[in-house]
Amino acid sequence: DSGVTQTPKHLITATGQRVTLRCSPRSGDLSVYWYQQSLDQGLQFLIQYYNGEERAKGNILERFSAQQFPDLHSELNLSSLELGDSALYFCASSVPQMGTGAPGNTIYFGEGSWLTVV
């Protein structure tokens, strides 16, 4: 158990719908990361938050948004879903280097949320 909790574990929804994926980082970790893993794209970095603020952005679509709340949990919102959004979405957390937000140590991944868009 990595200590990173993601919900829901599985989700099936229709095209055009909106879903929210939730992540609770490991206790004490200030940085939260979101990754998307699909069959044809591998593991793609989406976005990182550090202590509530957006720190780095990857290949995140405009239809997707995320935030990190004061209690450090994070949510990834996916809207206007398309078939191609079907993927395994991972959240990860780490203890950042002091003052930088960069991972100064191991990043731990949750078990992921399997999203199927039909």
Partner 1 sequence: GIQVEQSPPDLILQEGANSTLRCNFSDSVNNLQWFHQNPWGQLINLFYIPSGTKQNGRLSATTVATERYSLLYISSSQTTDSGVYFCAVEGYNTDKLIFGTGTRLQVFP
**Token pair of 69 as six digits:** 């709340």
Residue 38 CB, nearest approach to partner 1 (Å): 12
CA angle 109, 103, 4 (to 5 degrees): 25
Within 21-40, the residues that bind partner 1 by CB under 8 A are 33, 35
Site for partner 1 (CB under 8 A): which residue of 51, 77, 80, 105? Answer: 105
Q: Which stretch binds partner 1 (CB under 8 A): 15-23, 61-69, 70-78, 94-102?
A: 94-102
Q: Are 35 and 89 in contact (CB under 8 A)?
A: yes
Within 43-72, the residues that bind partner 1 by CB under 8 A are 43-45, 48, 50, 55-56, 58
Q: Which stretch binds partner 1 (CB under 8 A): 14-22, 67-75, 77-85, 96-104?
A: 96-104
Check binding of 12 to partner 1 (CB under 8 A).
Answer: no
Mark residue 12 as left, alpha or beta (left: phi above 0; alpha: psi -120 to 50; beta: remaining): beta
User: Residue 96: is the preceding peptide bond cis (ω within 30°)?
Assistant: no
Question: CA–CA separation, 2 vs 63, rounded Å?
Answer: 29
Site for partner 1 (CB under 8 A): which residue of 11, 30, 88, 95? Answer: 88
